[in-house]
Amino acid sequence: MPKDGGIGSSTKRREDVRFLSGTGRYTDDINLHGQLYAHFVRSDVAHGKINGINADAAMAMPGVVRVFTAKDFEGVGGVPCGWQITSIDGSPMQEPKHPVLAEGKVRHVGDPIAVVVAESLGQARDAADALEIDIEMLPAVMDMKEAIKDGAPKVHDDLSSNLCYDWGFVEDNKDAVAKAIADADHVTTLELVNNRLVANPMEPRVAVGDYDMANDEHTLYTTSQNPHVIRLLMGAFVLGIPEHKLRVVAPDVGGGFGAKIFHYAEEAFCTFAAKQLRRPVKWTSSRSEAFMSDAHGRDHVTKIELAMDKDNNFTAIRTETYANMGAYLSTFAPSVPTWLHGTLMAGNYKTPLIYVNVKAVFTNTVPVDAYRGAGRPEATFQLERVIDKAARERGVSPIELRRQNFITEFPYATPVAVEYDTGDYHATMDRVLEMADHAGFEARAEQSKKNGKLRGFGIAHYIEACGIAPSNLVGQLGARAGLYESATVRVNATGSISVMTGSHSHGQGHETSFAQVVSEMIGIDATQVDIVHGDTSKTPMGMGTYGSRSIAVGGSAMVRATEKIIAKAKKIAAHLMEASEGDIELKDGQFTVAGTDKSVAWGDVTLAAYVPHNYPLEDIEPGLEETAFYDPANFTYPSGGYACEVEVDPDTGKVDVLSFSAADDFGNVINPMIVEGQVHGGVAQGFGQAMMENCAYDADGQLISASYMDYAMPRATDLPMFKVDHSCQTPCTHNPLGVKGCGEAGAIGSPPAFVNAVIDALHRGGHKVEHINMPLTPDRVWTAIQNS
Amino acid sequence: MQNFEFVRPTSVADAVAALKGDEAQPMSGGQTLMPTMKARLAAPEILVSLTAIDEMKGVRKDGDQIWIGGGTTHATVARETAESYPALSSLAGRIGDPSVRSRGTIGGSIANNDPSACYPAGALGSGATIVTDRREIAADDFFQGMFMSALDEGEIVTAVKFPVPQKAIYQKFIQPASRFPLTAVFVAHFGDTVRVAVTGASSDGVFRWTEAEEALQGNFSADAVSGLSVSAAMMISDLHGSGAYRAQLTKVMTQRAVAALA
Ligand SMILES: Cc1cc2nc3c(=O)[nH]c(=O)nc-3n(C[C@H](O)[C@H](O)[C@H](O)COP(=O)(O)OP(=O)(O)OC[C@H]3O[C@@H](n4cnc5c(N)ncnc54)[C@H](O)[C@@H]3O)c2cc1C
């Protein structure tokens, strides 16, 4: 039994006290003296030339302080992109300028054209109506395949085409893969769409810029998953403010799901305008604005081929993907369809030859970037769908086909450049089939049939790469950043501890689980440890939270810093007990000397560090505070088996999800309750993608799912009670906690399980439907049945 | 939202007078009007709240009909017709969520005549009478296409009177995002006559499926409808369903309604 508050215990989340009692402090709760309000005037057309903007009437409206347009940003940098991809021919990706406010052209519905800053938000909005903007409409570039044809209208006139890059991976394997496919006994081919999604965190984005003239200091309060990254990108590339004059604070943040990783124009605007106007400037996104200004997710169109020998061993995989970048490159957009996607195409399977081609395309849509899972859901979906189709074509069980091709020996170097350290895929498969009562499925299917319904069973098995990542590796891959994490452990005189982490919590419960780790290492009560995050003036330079990296990378930095603390504390304890340092042991907050009954408490040692009267000052400095930066040796590789049971109503196409089981291998688990919550949330979002959510544009580039009237978010009543389990544990071999990360797994592994279950149900009902593009709305399922 | 003047009369007469003002508009629950104003798609200069008018509230028996004040919330209707008219109660109880039901009103819904709203199907399917500050209008004459009704400028729905069928049911198939009906059918059996009203499906708004009514009059069974079909041509086609799909839902929901009642 883990001790309460220690590693492995389902301690209740301490942050929930403030979240659930309405006493959290979110960015929108921050109101500064003399604050002005910014209202962004956004394009209502997808593509157009700005012939002129006349702000005279708007400027004359009550309360208006200033109207900003692109002209005000001459000499200010564009919003930068943090990852460069190199095309097959060796050329760097095409990287257009992303101005803070549209220059000359608007490129998507929602592209900001001007900002009205006024004494009140109402006044700013009223004045915006008086702004005269003359826009000449241009043809919208919407379809990716059309967009890269010769003569297609261009999103960026100064680029050679709408093709951002054409990436081949691993290019050296291309011919061998082609040969293996040509020689294969059987090739299963599937064309599919990974639907565009809107992240929809509960809290919309907010930015408050403040400027202290006396000290020439800027502060930006923002809804961010990584304040240090924002400080670096905005300070160095957009506004030219050195780090020591720029503080970025991301206080309580109400969900991010990726969309709050990126540096956005609104952040730069508020910081810039606050200095120009010498008053704080606040912007709060409306929900409607969020739909057209938060980076979207996914939006891939893919063809995948899976080659097999006569015994159904996988021999090769080849994919061709068109990845939508939207109108501009968002911060990490180029990395998502490439390194976060291509490297995962081996899945759990020992396919010797793999080739991935990705064409990234500019269109007149909102920029697309990482969304929970980022690239890995796209890879998993292709693979887990094509395997199901292959099993059907070969007349074998999709479960057995997977098992037969599972990787079983570790470490395993895939043909797509990564090395899995541990895993036991048969174990998670066994476990999930047991949880889902697979054995009893046929009887349940019979029962459904009697009720006029079609029951289906869907299985998916995923691998993901988390804990991004070794900095030298990602540097070679084009990242313009390091991906270590930092922690400072500050032990106070009485023994209580503040941990300053570069990770950021926006719903993940770090304040609870991180405290569990540090307190367990020292053997004190978890309430003695506080976690501080989200303020560049308090925490060491850190890369923030995304990619399920916080416990694996941020937690490891914290462990390293705590180890340094313990080492120093042992020296002090040795001095206090007049013993040799090598004989000191720390257990339950007591230092003892091995083989004696001497002991000194944690609090006595920490006090000695700050009141060094009896202290080895000649050997060590007073104080007890240590910082560690941890750069991981490898990614971590969580994996798992997901099973889903559905019932389809053939008359309406409506799908009811009857059960969902998840057997995940996350390695060691710090707080099981938090881990389960993360899986619940991930699976709910995976369900949303598979069954409901669809960010849709019409041919003219109008966003037709621009509110909750048309963008379908899942609700609790749409979902069954999930069965989740993480008892299969193969600890990560290269980080000190043996942890792998759990934040994205649900969103990565579940979409193919849902879709496989529906397709299975249809086949059982005699409807030969090979694929339905997500989301599997009733209309789409019914139409597929009609066309089968 | 733009600035407006706000008045809150306590009688229908005062409300009608207030609505004579320039750019005046009535507001009941505001569940439709407020979002429209926030999106700056409506900007009334005078907002005349109908929520303080007692004579427009409540549910009571009126001969063999049920009288429901135009200002009665969905939640109240759901609660107070649970025994007298269960099908209507169940319709009201499934509109939106608790906060929508606690504010939104039957009068606002009927007056708005959203092509996907529930009450128009309940009123048309029941053969209700719409009572206004100046006249009574049969439901058959009231609903005149998407967001269009027989109401004149400044005319207020003060009540709706429902005849109570022998049996009735509301079958709602929800649009996954808004949870309004994608297509919903209200079937009412009055002994000698059957009424079938369909909402969410047609680009002309709520309509009576007369072919089905005739077929069911002779044979009140799901089979009676199996040979029929509604034309997909007049159906709404959008992100959530093609015209053909809505035509299918119209039939399936009707069959399920009848099967549940038969
Ligand atoms: C989240 C959500 C979900 C919803 N789901 C559903 C659903 O599933 N089914 C459904 O049917 N509806 C649904 N609605 C709409 C809801 O039922 C509204 O309350 C209703 O359509 C309008 O009623 P109201 O009293 O709020 O009208 P208001 O918004 O106040 O007014 C609507 C319009 O009617 C006019 N008006 C108001 N009262 C009167 C009157 N007495 N006489 C004349 N004109 C009047 C107003 O001027 C305005 O033009 C939903 C709304 C929301 C916000």
Residue A1 has pLDDT above 80, yes or no: no
Question: At the topology level of CATH, where does B167-261 sit?
Answer: Enolase-like; domain 1 (3.30.390)
Structure letter (DSSP) for residue A150: T
Q: How many CB pairs under 8 A join A and B?
A: 51
Residue A2's pLDDT is what?
82
Can you tell me the mean pLDDT for B30-55?
95
Q: Are A432 and A602 in contact (CB under 8 A)?
A: no
Top mutation candidate among B33, B45, B134, B182 for ligand 1, by most atoms within 8 Å of CB: B33
pLDDT in tens, A689-741: 999 999 999 999 999 999 999 999 999 999 999 999 999 999 999 999 999 99
Strands of the sheet with A353-362, listed across from one edge: A163-169, A353-362, A314-326, A300-308, A186-194
In single-letter form, the type of residue at position A651 comes to D
DSSP string, A517-540: HHHHHHTS-GGGEEEE-SBTTTSP
Per-domain boundaries in chain A: 16-23+484-630, 31-138+202-255+260-291, 395-467+634-787
Residue A438 has pLDDT above 90, yes or no: yes
Residue A3 has pLDDT above 90, yes or no: no
Q: Does A168 touch chain B (CB under 8 A)?
A: no
| Percentage with pLDDT > 90 across chain A | 98
Quick one: which atom of ligand 1 is closest to the CA of B25?
47
Distance of alpha carbon B82 from its chain centroid, rounded? Answer: 17
Q: Does B239 touch chain A (CB under 8 A)?
A: yes
Quick one: which atom of ligand 1 is closest to the CA of B31?
26
Can you tell me the mean pLDDT for A327-349?
97
Q: Are A761 and A646 in contact (CB under 8 A)?
A: yes
Q: Do A652 and B249 touch (CB under 8 A)?
A: yes
Residue from A135, A165, A136 nearest A148 by CA:
A165
Question: At the topology level of CATH, where does A16-23+484-630 sit?
Answer: Aldehyde Oxidoreductase; domain 4 (3.30.365)
pLDDT in tens, A81-104: 999 999 999 999 999 999 999 999
Tell me the CA–centroid distance for residue A697 and ligand 1, in Å: 28
Q: Do B178 and A126 touch (CB under 8 A)?
A: no
Give the pLDDT band of residue A491 (cuts 50, 70, 90). Answer: very high
Quick one: which atom of ligand 1 is closest to the CA of B73?
25
Evaluate whether A31-138+202-255+260-291 and A395-467+634-787 have a shared fold.
no
Residue from A265, A253, A257 nearest A224 by CA:
A253
Q: Is the CB of B33 under 6 A from ligand 1?
A: yes
Give the pLDDT band of residue A367 (cuts 50, 70, 90). Answer: very high
Residue A680 has pLDDT above 90, yes or no: yes
Residue A111's pLDDT is what?
98
* Preceding omega of A411 cis (within 30 degrees of 0): yes
pLDDT in tens, B79-111: 999 999 999 999 999 999 999 999 999 999 999
Which CATH architecture best describes the domain A395-467+634-787?
2-Layer Sandwich (3.30)
Q: Does A419 touch chain B (CB under 8 A)?
A: no
Label residue A618 exposed, middle or buried (CB < 10 Å: 0-12, 13-18, 19+).
Answer: exposed
Q: Does A698 touch chain B (CB under 8 A)?
A: no
Q: How far is A30 from chain B (nearest CA, A)?
A: 23
CATH class assigned to B56-163: alpha beta
CA distances from B79 to A753, B68, B72, B84, B93 (A): 41, 12, 11, 10, 8
Label residue A393 exposed, middle or buried (CB < 10 Å: 0-12, 13-18, 19+).
Answer: middle
Residue B2's pLDDT is what?
82
DSSP string, B106-170: HHHHHHH--TT-SHHHHHHHHT-EEEESS-EEEHHHHB-STT-BSPPTT--EEEEEEEPPSEEEE
In single-letter form, the type of residue at position A781 comes to V
Q: Are A293 and A329 in contact (CB under 8 A)?
A: no
Per-domain boundaries in chain B: 5-49, 56-163, 167-261
Q: Are A463 and A381 in contact (CB under 8 A)?
A: no
Give the pLDDT band of residue A41 (cuts 50, 70, 90). Answer: very high
Evaluate whether B56-163 and B167-261 have a shared fold.
no
Q: Do A652 and B173 touch (CB under 8 A)?
A: yes
Question: At the topology level of CATH, where does A31-138+202-255+260-291 sit?
Answer: Aldehyde Oxidoreductase; domain 3 (3.90.1170)
Q: Is the CB of B201 under 6 A from ligand 1?
A: no
Structure letter (DSSP) for residue A342: G
Q: How far is A437 from chain B (nearest CA, A)?
A: 30
Q: How far is B248 from chain A (nearest CA, A)?
A: 8
Q: Do B242 and A126 touch (CB under 8 A)?
A: no
Give the pLDDT band of residue A469 (cuts 50, 70, 90). Answer: confident
Q: Are A111 and A327 in contact (CB under 8 A)?
A: yes
Residue A147's pLDDT is what?
98
Q: Are A100 and A239 in contact (CB under 8 A)?
A: no
Q: Which of A708, A711, A782 sits opposite B248 (nearest CB)?
A: A782
Q: Is the CB of B29 under 6 A from ligand 1?
A: yes
Give the pLDDT band of residue B1 (cuts 50, 70, 90). Answer: confident
Q: Cα separation of A97 and A238, whole Å?
A: 11
Which residues on chain B are in Cβ contact (under 8 Å) with A786?
A: 244
Residue from B49, B65, B186, B30 nearest B136 by CA:
B65
Q: If DSSP codes are grouped into helix, strand and coil, which group holds residue A589?
A: coil
List the 118-157 stretch of B: residues with Cβ below 8 A of A.
none
Q: Is the CB of B108 under 6 A from ligand 1?
A: yes
pLDDT in tens, A110-165: 999 999 999 999 999 999 999 999 999 999 999 999 999 999 999 999 999 999 99
CATH 3.30.43.10 matches B5-49: yes
Residue A650: closest C-alpha in chain B: B252
- Our CA dihedral for A335, A292, B180, A687, rounded to 10 degrees, sits at 10
Quick one: which atom of ligand 1 is closest to the CA of B174?
8
Identify the bridge partners of residue B245 per DSSP, sorted by sequence position: none
In single-letter form, the type of residue at position A599 comes to S
Give the pLDDT band of residue B262 (cuts 50, 70, 90). Answer: confident
Q: Do B177 and A712 touch (CB under 8 A)?
A: yes
The ipTM value here is 0.96
Q: Cα separation of B176 and B153, whole Å?
A: 34
In sequence order, what are the residues at sequence separation of 6 or more whose Cβ sits closer than 8 angstroms to the Cβ of residue A200? Answer: A257, A290, A711, A713
Tokens describing residue B116: 């996907």
| Percentage with pLDDT > 70 across chain A | 100
pLDDT in tens, A572-629: 999 999 999 999 999 999 999 999 999 999 999 999 999 999 999 999 999 999 999 9
Q: Are A394 and A186 in contact (CB under 8 A)?
A: yes
Top mutation candidate among B95, B147, B179, B183 for ligand 1, by most atoms within 8 Å of CB: B95
Q: Cα separation of B135 and B130, whole Å?
A: 8
Residue A788 has pLDDT above 80, yes or no: yes
Q: Are A598 and A577 in contact (CB under 8 A)?
A: yes
Q: Do A288 and B245 touch (CB under 8 A)?
A: no
Q: Do A708 and B249 touch (CB under 8 A)?
A: no
Alpha helices in A657-744 (DSSP H): 672-687
Q: Does A699 touch chain B (CB under 8 A)?
A: no
Residue B68's pLDDT is what?
98
Which residues on chain B are in Cβ contact (under 8 Å) with A694?
A: 239
Q: Do B249 and A711 touch (CB under 8 A)?
A: no
Q: Does B178 touch chain A (CB under 8 A)?
A: yes
Kindly give the pairing relationship between strand A186-194 and strand A300-308: antiparallel
Tell me the CA–centroid distance for residue B88 and ligand 1, in Å: 17
Q: Do B249 and A125 touch (CB under 8 A)?
A: no
Tell me the CA–centroid distance for residue B75 and ligand 1, in Å: 13
Q: Cα separation of A739 and A554, whole Å?
A: 11
Can you tell me the mean pLDDT for A384-411?
98
Q: Is the CB of B26 under 6 A from ligand 1?
A: yes
Interface test with B, best of A691, A718, A779 (most B CBs within 10 A): A779
